[in-house]
Amino acid sequence: MIDTHSHIYLEQFDEDRGDVMQRAREAGVEAIFMPAIDLDSLEQMKKLHHDEISFYEMAGLHPCSVKELEGGFEATLRTLCAREEIYGVGETGLDYYWSTDHVDVQKQSLQIHCRVAKEVQKPIIIHNRESTADMLDLIEEQQDGSLFGIWHCFNGTVDEGKRALDMGFHLGIGGVVTFKNGGVDKTVAELPIEHMVLETDAPYLSPTPKRGKRNEPAFMKYTAQKLADIFELSLEEVDRITTENAERLFGFNQYRN
């Protein structure tokens, strides 16, 4: 399995990261993609190593990290994302849950990330919380046929999901699909698994039956099993489909060493 969205580099894992990685490998995780929270995240990512799991870095500025944008931010982001070792742009997006004080700056940041993603031709990772309409409108404005990526932690309606798919995006399916009263499972059932990828968002959003605990890549097996139940597929088939989707999205399969 590929975890397309994990913050495994954060301090929440400093005490037992080795054990966490061992559990991930035992659960079948072979690769972990790490979206940035801010530009300092890259230094934390570079410290990670595991003999059996491959780690892949992304560069960007989380919307909750955006307070103001320095004049040279776009050039800095472009330089970072053009590096060969950077596999995606983000995470970026909009988040109106905690505050709407910086909405204009969040939108400006998302536009910058979109421009950079198109220039370097790498997937953009979109965070969205209580901002779906604005997020989709902005992506549509930026879409010129060359923008692609993941709607991270998909929790939209069927129509919103179809709109994202029509714009060339994949849907990141994480722990929320397992929540009993969330309704995401019913929405996901109406959308094609051929455009879905697995993710954890570790250490956040643990799936049932681990809700309330720190999330970790090994818990992705519960999300995969939920997709297997929804689509009446075997766990192995869900693994194959979502892995192939991630490979196409990120443009490679070289993590299989």
CA–CA dist 225, 240 (Å, integer)? 13
Which amino acid belongs to residue 27?
Answer: A
CA–CA dist 23, 166 (Å, integer)? 37
Tell me the pLDDT band of 146, cut-offs 50, 70 and 90: very high
* Position 209 pLDDT exceeds 80: yes
Averaged pLDDT for residues 213-227: 98
Tell me the pLDDT band of 253, cut-offs 50, 70 and 90: low
Reduced to 3 DSSP states, what percent helix, strand and coil does the chain have, rounded to the nearest 5? 45, 15, 40
- pLDDT at res. 99: 85
Domain segments of the chain as ranges: 2-250
184-192 long-range contacts, CB within 8 A, separation 24+: 184/154, 184/155, 185/226, 185/230, 187/155, 187/156, 187/157, 187/158, 187/161, 188/154, 188/161, 188/227, 188/230, 189/230, 189/231, 190/158, 190/161, 191/158, 191/161, 191/162, 191/165, 192/165
- pLDDT at res. 257: 39
Mean pLDDT of all residues belonging to the chain: 95
In contact, 130 and 156? CB cutoff 8 Å: no
What is the architecture, at CATH level 2, of domain 2-250? Answer: Alpha-Beta Barrel (3.20)
pTM attached to this predicted model:
0.96
Do the bridges between strand 196-198 and strand 169-173 make them parallel or antiparallel, or are there none, so unpaired? parallel
* Position 256 pLDDT exceeds 70: no
- pLDDT at res. 70: 81
pLDDT digits (tens, 9 = 90+) for 180-203: 988 999 999 999 999 999 999 999
In contact, 203 and 12? CB cutoff 8 Å: yes
- pLDDT at res. 69: 84
pLDDT digits (tens, 9 = 90+) for 120-129: 999 999 999 9
Of the candidate ranges 134-138, 167-171, 251-255, the one whose mean pLDDT is the lowest? 251-255
Tell me the pLDDT band of 212, cut-offs 50, 70 and 90: very high
Averaged pLDDT for residues 139-167: 98
* Position 160 pLDDT exceeds 90: yes
In contact, 228 and 242? CB cutoff 8 Å: no
pLDDT digits (tens, 9 = 90+) for 80-103: 999 999 999 999 999 999 888 889
* Position 219 pLDDT exceeds 50: yes
